[in-house]
Structure 1
């Protein structure tokens, strides 16, 4: 078995992102949490400047970072600053948390492909931020939409692949 890898992204409310990614080929585990902010031990009610993000554990023999980002840009609107659906604020920004130069190059390539496609009205405002500590969200937020199938989400597949 190959070594599993992790990817960290944020694209609005973490519940909907996790729900869609959990069933993707090659995704072995999903966790929701807080990333890219200032305070230690953030919580749902105190995550100053942290994004609501997801940690994806994936098998690189079954999917790639590039394919993960392709799907990411298909399930949220990357052209809105600090907003997805009804959710507003820095917690709901579109961000890829970069762990190394290879991920940065792939992210820049995929953003260019998304922008060139013309599928979105406007260019992606997705930021590339360096990976920081991923703080696991409280248990009630993990697998939220499995526990509450009719819960709120603004995430859905909008397009076929960009790649």
Structure 2
């Protein structure tokens, strides 16, 4: 096994991202949290006010010998809309912005190059608004947010929003689904 790496992603509600990435082969850990805002150690209630600058994110630990960052980002760009500023579906506010928060300069290069290529190819038909920034001020979300979809698969939001993203991942990336 090679040395594990981390990348932190924001793409709407962290429940949805976590629900997908826990099923990705090569991803060894997924933690919901908050990052890239001004508040230190924010609570969910504070982040929901959209006044902290924090984004709902998932911090992924992955084995680069099993999955590349590019493959992780391909999944990321399929399961959320990178063209809507501060919004994913009905979830609106700066805490739902699209973001890639890197831990190394190499991760920034990969993310920037992918966005450049997708923009050049007009892949989404609208400009990509995903921010690419160094990870800053990360704080784990409360325990009840961890593994939320797994623990609450029949909750309304999970059925309406998270489950379709999981299904889209399974269909689009069948070869990446954990056995």
TM-score, normalising length from structure 2? 0.84
Residue 115 of structure 1 deviates from its aligned partner by: 2.4
Alignment deviations for residues 93-144 of structure 1 (CA, whole Å, 9 cap, x no partner): 0000122221111001111232244342302100112211320100110010
RMSD: 1.7
Q: List aligned pairs for 1:110-149, cutoff 5 A.
A: 110-149=114-153
**Matched residue pairs, number?**
161
Say whether the 8 Å CA contact 1:73–1:114 is kept in structure 2: no
Q: List aligned pairs for 1:35-54, cutoff 5 A.
A: 35-47=35-47, 48-54=52-58
Give the gaps of 5 or more residues in structure 2.
174-179
> Paired residue for 1:107?
111
Q: List aligned pairs for 1:1-163, cutoff 5 A.
A: 1-47=1-47, 48-151=52-155, 152-153=157-158, 154=161, 156=165, 157=168, 160=172
Say whether the 8 Å CA contact 1:32–1:52 is kept in structure 2: yes
Residue 160 of structure 1 deviates from its aligned partner by: 4.5
Say whether the 8 Å CA contact 2:14–2:58 is kept in structure 1: yes
Runs of 4+ in 1 over 4 A off after TM superposition: 158-161
Q: Secondary structure at the match of 2:81?
A: coil
